[in-house]
Amino acid sequence: MPERMESVKLQIQIPKTLKEKLEERAKETGVTLNQYLMFLMVNAVDKGHE
């Protein structure tokens, strides 16, 4: 059975308009806002290691 990764909560402040745009992109992609933000962050970190 694969190990479950430990998670933590991260709270940030962003402009309301940015949140609305991110929510719309997440909806278009068919995922939750949390899933979409995780995708963006993982890709940003991975690009930094190329």
Q: Where are the domains positioned within the chain?
A: 16-47
Average pLDDT for 15-23: 98
The whole-model pTM stands at 0.78
Q: Is the Cα dihedral 20, 26, 43, 11 positive or negative?
A: positive
Local confidence band at 2 (pLDDT 50, 70, 90 cut-offs): low
Local confidence band at 20 (pLDDT 50, 70, 90 cut-offs): very high
**Can you give the pLDDT at residue 49?**
73
Here the tokens at position 45 are 């970190």
CB 5: neighbour CB atoms within 10 A?
5
CB 4 within 8 A of CB 19: no
Q: CA 37, CA 26: separation in Å to the nearest integer? A: 8
